[in-house]
Structure 1
Amino acid sequence: MQALENLTLAFFLAATIVQLAYWLGVFSRLALYRQPPPAQQPQEPISVIVCARNEAENLQKNLPSLLAQDYPDFEVIVVNDASTDKTLSVLLDFQRKNPKLRVVNLTTKINRGKKAALSKGIEAANFDLLFLTDADCRPASDQWLSFMQPFVKGRVKVGLGYSPYLRATGVLNAFIRFETVYSAIQYFSFAFAGLPYMGVGRNLAYRKSLFVQHGGFATHTEVTSGDDDLFVNEVADSRNTRVVLSPDTFVFSTPKSSWRGYYRQKTRHLSTGARYKLKHKLLLGLISGSHFGHYMSGIALAFFFELEMIVIINYLARMGVVSLMYYWILRKLRDPWLLPWVPLFDALYILYYLLFTPALFKTKEPWT
C-alpha cells in the first residue's frame, strides 16, 4: 500500500510540474504577446473564400459584412456546395448588387465535408492571397482584411487568426467559449514557440501557391474534416507562419445550442488529431495527460491516502498560475466574462478527455 501511495504521489507531483512548465514556459507566450500595428505597405489583392451548403439564412446575415470590408482590391468567392435550400438564389441576388461577389455553383455533392468545394473555390480565385471563413461567421469589423493582410507577406505564407464564439446565456455557451479559448491558447502558443500545428478555417489565410505546391488536400482527402488543421499541420513551420491577434481581425461565429450538436461537431473535428505530425501528438498528449493526471491522482491522494494538504498546496499553486494566465489571455481575446468559470471548467475538463479521447481513434466520421 505504501508503494502505491508513493507511486501516486510521484505521478501527481510530476503531472503538476509538467502543467506548470507548459503554462509558464509555453502558454505564457500568448499571455505576454503584444500585437504590433500593421505595417504601412502596398495592399495586396485578396480572394475571400466561403463554402456554403444549405446556408441561405446565414448568408443573408453575414455575407454583407464580408462584402463591406474596407479594402481596395478583393473578391468574395462563395462556393454553393450542392445546396438544397435557397442558398443559390440568395447568392445570385447578392451578386446582382455587388460585383465583388463571385459564385461557384456545384450541382452535385462530390464528397463528405467541404474539401472538394474549397478546392474548387481556390481554383477559381483570381489572387494568390486567400482568406478563408464560413457562412455562419462575421468579422468583428470592416478592417479584417486590412489589419491581417500586412502580416502575411514575404516568407510568411500562413496567417492564423482567432475565431471566437458569440457570447450567450447558459453553461453550454460558456463551456464552448472556454474550450475555444483553451484550444487557442495551445495552437497560438505553439506557433509563437516555432511549432505551429493547426489553424481554424473560420479565420485562416494562406497562399494559393502554397496550396498548389503541396497538392492541396491530397494527403487527407478521405478525411471529412481537416481542410484547416490538417492542411496547416502539413505546410506550416516556424518561418512561414504568423499569428494575428488584433481584435479587428477576430471573426465571430454562432456556437451550437445543444449538447448533442456540440458533441457531434467536436467528435468530427477531433478525429483529425490522429493525423498530426508525431511531435505535435506527443506534445499535445503530454498536455492532456498531465492535466488529467493532476486531477485524477490528486483525487486519489486526497480520498484514499489522506494527503489532502499536499494536494491542496499543489492545486492552489497550479490554479494560481493558470488563473493569472487566463486573466491576461482572456483580456487579449476580449472575453473576460469567462474568468469566473476557469476553476470549474478546468477541473471538468477531465470529463472532456474521457468523452472525446475515443474520437482520436475513430475510423468513421459523421457526415453533417
Structure 2
Amino acid sequence: MLITLFYFFIAIVVVQLFYYLGVFGKFAFAKPQEVTQKKLPVSVIVCAKNEEENVKKFVPLLAEQDYPDFEIVLIDDASSDETLEIFEEFEQQYPNIRLVKVQNNEAFWGNKKYSLTLGIKAAKKEYLLFTDADCYPTSKNWITSMTSQFTMNKTIVLGYGGYEKIERSFLNKIIRFETILTALQYFSWAKIGFPYMGVGRNLAYKKEEFFKVNGFIDHIQIRSGDDDLFINQAADKTNTTISYNPESFTYSKPKESYKEWFTQKRRHVSTAEHYKFFDKMQLGIFYTSQLLFFLSFILLLSFQFQWIAVVAIIATRYTVAWTVVGFTAGKLKENDLKIWFPIVEIVLIFTQINIFITNIFSKPVHWK
C-alpha cells in the first residue's frame, strides 16, 4: 500500500514540475518586453455602477494619459448614487470623454455585459482598452504600453491588474499572491498558444474581435465573465498576446475582509465552470495535483516510508515552484511576496476546496 502511495506521490510531483517548468516557466523566465508607441486609435472603456468615490479619483488619471489618439468611454450602469453626475462633469471638463447612460432594462437587469455592449458600440476608435471603475494605471504610459503589443495578427492583449499593498495584513498577502498566481497561469498558457482568460481590470482588443463572436451573446445569461468568458471564446494562439511591462499595470484596492474576498473568489470560480473543456481540465489537474501533493507527502512522512527520498522530492518540488513564483513576483513588482510562498500556497489550496464546496450548495451574487 505504501509503495503504491510512494509511486503515486512521484507521479503527482512530475505533474507539478511539468506545470511549473513546462508551462509557467514560459512566462516566469521570459525576457523583459520592449515598448514602442504605435499611435493606434484607442477607446478606453470604463463601466461603473455606484462608484462615485472611485471615479472621482481615477478618471482624471485616465484622462491625463500621455497618448496622442484616445478617447474615454464612461458607462454609467443605472447608478443610484452620484456616479452619473460626476461623469457628466468630466464630460464637460475633458473633450475626449464620451458618456454612455444606461437605463435599467428588464431583460438585462444587473447584467454588466449589456452595459459594456452599449459602450463598445458607442466607441469611435478601432482598439478598445478596458479597466474597471475602481482601478488606476501605474503610469501615464499605460495606454502606450498596452497597445505596443498589438500587431497585424495579435489583436487581443492580456494585461496585469494587481492590488494595492497593505502593510501588516496577511489577508492582503493572500489576495496579492493569488493574483500573481492567476496571472502566471493565464500569461503562461497564452505564451504557449492556449489563452483561456483575461482580467477586465486590464484588457485590450480590437473592436472587430468583439463582433466576430457576436459579443457576449453566447454567455449573456451568465452575469459575470465579460472578461474571462469573452477571452475564453474569442482568444486563440494566432490572435492573442500579453503585456507585462510594469508601465502597463493597473492597480485597485483589495478587499479588506476575508468574507468579501471569499465572496469575490466564489464568483470567479463559478464563472470558470463555463470555460472550454481543455481549460477546465488543465486548471483542475493543476489544483488537484497541489492538494494531492500535500496529502500524499504528509501520509508518507507520518509512516516514515522512504522518508529520505520523500524529503528530497519535496525539496526539489519546492525549489522549482519557489523559483518560478519568485521570478514571476519580480516581473509583476510583487517582490515582498516571494518569502510567503509556502504558507500562502497552503491557505489558497484549502480556500479553493472551501469555495468548491460552498458553490455546490449556493450560488454566488454577481454584478451589483
Give the structure-1-normalised TM-score: 0.95
- 1:126 is displaced (CA, Å) by 0.5
Letter in 2 for 1:313: A
Q: Deviations over 1:18-69 (max 9, x none)?
A: 101111111111111123312454x111011111000000001111110101
After TM superposition, the structure 1 = structure 2 runs for residues 286-297 of structure 1, keeping only pairs within 5 Å, are 286-297=285-296
Residue 187 of structure 1 corresponds to 186
Letter in 2 for 1:107: Q
Residue 14 of structure 2 corresponds to 17
Give the Cα–Cα distance (whole angstroms) in 2 for the partners of residues 39 and 338 of structure 1.
30
Does residue 150 of the first structure (1) align with residue 148 of the second (2)?
A: yes
CA RMSD of aligned residues (A): 1.6
- 1:107 is displaced (CA, Å) by 2.5
Give the Cα–Cα distance (whole angstroms) in 1 for the partners of residues 122 and 154 of structure 2.
23
Q: Deviations over 1:288-337 (max 9, x none)?
A: 11111100111122224655433322211111111111221111111100
Residue 71 of structure 1 corresponds to 67
Give the Cα–Cα distance (whole angstroms) in 2 for the partners of residues 98 and 187 of structure 1.
35
- What SS does the corresponding residue of 2:79 show, helix, strand or coil? coil
- What SS does the corresponding residue of 1:164 show, helix, strand or coil? strand
Give the Cα–Cα distance (whole angstroms) in 2 for the partners of residues 328 and 305 of structure 1.
34
Larger deviation, residues 228-237 vs 301-310: 301-310
Give the Cα–Cα distance (whole angstroms) in 1 for the partners of residues 237 and 362 of structure 2.
31
**Contact 2:161–2:201 (8 Å) recurs in 1:** yes
Give the Cα–Cα distance (whole angstroms) in 2 for the partners of residues 278 and 346 of structure 1.
25
After TM superposition, the structure 1 = structure 2 runs for residues 35-114 of structure 1, keeping only pairs within 5 Å, are 35-39=32-36, 41=38, 43-108=39-104, 110-114=108-112
- 1:360 is displaced (CA, Å) by 6.7
Residue 204 of structure 2 corresponds to 205
Letter in 2 for 1:310: A
Q: 1:214 to 1:363 in 2, by over 3 A?
A: farther
- 1:150 is displaced (CA, Å) by 2.4
**Aligned residues with identical type, % of pairs:** 38
**Contact 1:270–1:359 (8 Å) recurs in 2:** no
Letter in 2 for 1:136: D
What runs of 5+ residues in structure 2 fail to find an aligned partner? none
Letter in 2 for 1:243: I
- 1:132 is displaced (CA, Å) by 0.4
Q: Which runs of 4+ in 1 moved over 4 A?
A: 304-307, 359-363
Does residue 122 of the first structure (1) align with residue 120 of the second (2)?
A: yes
Give the Cα–Cα distance (whole angstroms) in 2 for the partners of residues 319 and 245 of structure 1.
25
Residue 236 of structure 2 corresponds to 237
Give the structure-2-normalised TM-score: 0.95
- 1:352 is displaced (CA, Å) by 2.1
Letter in 1 for 2:120: I
- 1:149 is displaced (CA, Å) by 1.1
Larger deviation, residues 107-116 vs 12-21: 107-116
- 1:365 is displaced (CA, Å) by 3.4
In the alignment of these two chains, the number of paired residues is: 364
What runs of 5+ residues in structure 1 fail to find an aligned partner? none
Give the Cα–Cα distance (whole angstroms) in 1 for the partners of residues 360 and 271 of structure 2.
9
